């Protein structure tokens, strides 16, 4: 997991991107970097926290009004200046930030090395940016076409945002398995891994879906699928206040979130708990009652703290419902060949709704005919959208990496 921010508009891009990266630091913080488009693309990246990038402040000009930024949580190559994003292609034409993992990067790297490409980092990301460059060069194609071709060959999860030398008025982004939100301003656009860097500027957003590619200029967002067919963007109004994601006087987000639990639980139960009768009704369960009533078995899939919530749920559901329950680590589930089929109810639990292993496990269970029920905090997230039914826990944004209020909400 990492954080990505980008800006295209008429304001100075650097402070907007820097501030956005600070808001996303909870997603990753081993190194960070920013690339700005002035007359040409220039790039600054450093091992360590996002604040290390402030050293670049004096050197950047107001006139750079387009840029991309990244705060990293390494998967390939240790945290270092060289492995930090953005990464540039060998010719310097393309500059890219990436959130996710390119699973087949080793074979692509070998192919590229045979063609004379060299690599400055140990990341899968640098392979991807050069792979796109190679396709573009080979086919004499536009960047958009090259990205499309490249992504068809890539196995893994990604959000990428790419800038191209000579095209200062355009960003290209694409996603599969990692989140991307586009904020729509007046003659400007903001891109980020979640809405927190965006809400102070606009509440109009588009959540980009898997296998979609977005071409973003100052005035327009055009969405396409990887088959080059246009997709109509669905513009949503964000129901989130900036104060909700700031520290509110506490020293740490985690502390703030611990103390928010009376409120977050009230929000979670609001409209669901009938105090007189003590009956709790979840619309997502009501709408899918037959799936639950006919369940032969319930399998809970989750990771980390959500998995612990699942262990408690196993105990409660078996005691109260007399339905067998299994709790599985999503990362184990996805890599074996589990016996799953119609009649199984999968409860997938995730605070962010973006947990990569849980998402893949869901897809696998879905293919095998199971009914998927998501228990998710982040509204509009990937797990929420891919589940057949579900219940939001309405705990509000959880920034602390150790889950607190989301855990009690899940329970």
The number of angstroms, rounded, from the C-alpha of 344 to the middle of its chain's C-alpha atoms is: 28
Q: How far is the CB of 357 from ligand GLU (least distance, A)?
A: 14
Q: Which of 89, 125, 136, 350 binds ligand GLU (CB under 6 A)?
A: 125
Q: How far is the CB of 284 from ligand GLU (least distance, A)?
A: 30
Any contact of residue 53 with ligand GLU (CB under 6 A)?
no
Q: How far is the CB of 309 from ligand GLU (least distance, A)?
A: 25
| Closer residue to ligand GLU (CB): 82 or 258 | 82
Any contact of residue 175 with ligand GLU (CB under 6 A)?
no
| Interface with ligand GLU in residues 62-81 (CB under 6 A) | 72-77
Q: How many CB atoms lie within 10 A of CB 54?
A: 12
**Dist CA 276 CA 391 (whole Å):** 22
Place of tokens 């996303």: 24
Choose one: 117-125, 137-145, 182-190, 326-334; the region binding ligand GLU (CB under 6 A).
117-125
Q: Put residue 329 in one of left, alpha, beta given phi > 0 → left and psi -120 to 50 → alpha.
A: beta
Query: What is the sign of the dihedral through the CA atoms of 237, 239, 242 and 245?
Result: negative
| Interface with ligand GLU in residues 308-337 (CB under 6 A) | none
| Closer residue to ligand GLU (CB): 197 or 338 | 197
| Closer residue to ligand GLU (CB): 3 or 338 | 3
Q: How far is the CB of 83 from ligand GLU (least distance, A)?
A: 6
| Interface with ligand GLU in residues 201-260 (CB under 6 A) | none
**Dist CA 26 CA 308 (whole Å):** 21
**CB 27 within 8 Å of CB 3:** yes
Any contact of residue 2 with ligand GLU (CB under 6 A)?
yes
**Dist CA 411 CA 403 (whole Å):** 12
Any contact of residue 264 with ligand GLU (CB under 6 A)?
no
Q: How far is the CB of 73 from ligand GLU (least distance, A)?
A: 4
Structure tokens at 222: 């055009």
Q: Which residue is nearest to ligand GLU (CB)?
A: 2
| Closer residue to ligand GLU (CB): 355 or 387 | 355
Query: What value, to the nearest 5°, has the Cα angle with vertex 12 and ends 6 and 17?
Result: 30
| Closer residue to ligand GLU (CB): 88 or 202 | 88
Farthest CA pair distance, the chain:
73
Strands (E), 165-260: 171-176, 181-184, 189-192, 204-207, 212-216, 221-225, 230-231, 235-237
Query: What are residue 281's phi and psi, to 5 degrees?
Result: -120, 125
Any contact of residue 28 with ligand GLU (CB under 6 A)?
yes
| Interface with ligand GLU in residues 80-99 (CB under 6 A) | 83, 98-99
Any contact of residue 352 with ligand GLU (CB under 6 A)?
no
Number of residues that bind ligand GLU (CB under 6 A): 17
Any contact of residue 123 with ligand GLU (CB under 6 A)?
yes
Choose one: 118-126, 305-313, 361-369, 384-392; the region binding ligand GLU (CB under 6 A).
118-126
- The two beta strands, 371-376 and 189-192, are unpaired
Q: How far is the CB of 257 from ligand GLU (least distance, A)?
A: 23
* DSSP states of 270-329: TTTEETTTTEE--HHHHTTHHHHHT-SEEEEEE-HHHHHHHHHHHHHHHHHH---EEEEE
Any contact of residue 100 with ligand GLU (CB under 6 A)?
yes
Q: How far is the CB of 89 from ligand GLU (least distance, A)?
A: 16
How far are the Cα atoms of 53, 87, 125, 220 from residue 122, in angstroms, in the given order?
A: 21, 11, 9, 35
Q: How far is the CB of 2 from ligand GLU (least distance, A)?
A: 3
**Dist CA 98 CA 107 (whole Å):** 19
Residue 76's contacts (CB-CB under 8 Å, 6 or more residues apart) are 83, 101, 105, 122, 123, 124, 125
Q: How far is the CB of 122 from ligand GLU (least distance, A)?
A: 8
| Closer residue to ligand GLU (CB): 28 or 389 | 28
Residue numbers at the binding site for ligand GLU (CB under 6 A): 1-2, 28, 72-77, 83, 98-101, 123-125
């Amino acid at each position: 997991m990492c954080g990505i921010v980008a800006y295209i508009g008429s304001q100075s891009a650097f402070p907007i991107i820097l501030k956005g990266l600070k808001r996303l630091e909870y997603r990753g913080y081993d190194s960070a970097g920013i690339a700005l488009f002035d007359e040409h693309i220039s790039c600054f990246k450093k091992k360590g926290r996002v604040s290390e990038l402030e050293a670049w402040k004096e050197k950047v000009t107001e006139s750079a009004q387009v840029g991309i930024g990244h705060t990293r949580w390494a998967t390939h190559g240790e945290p270092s200046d060289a492995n930090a994003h953005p990464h540039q292609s060998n010719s310097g034409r393309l500059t890219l930030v990436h959130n996710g993992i390119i699973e087949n990067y080793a074979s692509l790297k070998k192919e590229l090395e045979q063609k004379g490409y060299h690599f400055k980092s140990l990341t899968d990301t640098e392979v991807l940016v050069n792979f796109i460059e190679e396709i573009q060069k080979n086919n004499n194609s536009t960047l958009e076409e090259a990205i499309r071709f490249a992504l068809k060959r890539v196995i893994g999860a990604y959000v990428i945002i790419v800038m191209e030398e000579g095209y200062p008025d355009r960003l290209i982004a694409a996603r599969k398995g990692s989140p991307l939100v586009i904020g729509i301003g007046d003659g400007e656009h903001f891109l980020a891994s979640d809405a927190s860097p965006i809400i102070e500027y606009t509440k109009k957003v588009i959540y980009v879906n898997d296998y979609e590619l977005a071409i973003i200029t100052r005035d327009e967002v055009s969405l396409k699928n990887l088959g080059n067919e246009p997709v109509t963007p669905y513009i949503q109004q964000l129901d989130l206040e900036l104060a909700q994601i700031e520290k509110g006087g506490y020293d740490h987000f985690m502390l703030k979130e611990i103390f928010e639990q009376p409120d977050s639980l009230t929000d979670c139960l609001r409209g669901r708990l009938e105090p007189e009768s003590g009956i709790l009704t979840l619309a997502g369960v009501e709408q899918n009652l037959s799936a639950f009533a006919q369940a032969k078995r319930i399998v809970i899939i989750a990771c980390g703290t959500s998995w612990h919530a699942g262990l408690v749920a196993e105990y409660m559901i078996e005691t109260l419902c007399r339905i067998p329950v299994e709790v599985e680590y999503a990362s184990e589930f996805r890599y074996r060949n589990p016996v799953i089929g119609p009649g199984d109810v999968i409860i997938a639990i995730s605070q962010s709704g973006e947990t990569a292993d849980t998402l893949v496990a869901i897809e696998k269970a879905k293919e095998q005919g199971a009914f998927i029920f998501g228990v998710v905090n982040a509204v509009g997230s990937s797990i929420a959208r891919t589940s057949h039914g579900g219940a939001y826990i309405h705990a509000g944004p959880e920034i602390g990496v150790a889950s607190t209020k989301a855990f009690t909400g899940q329970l």
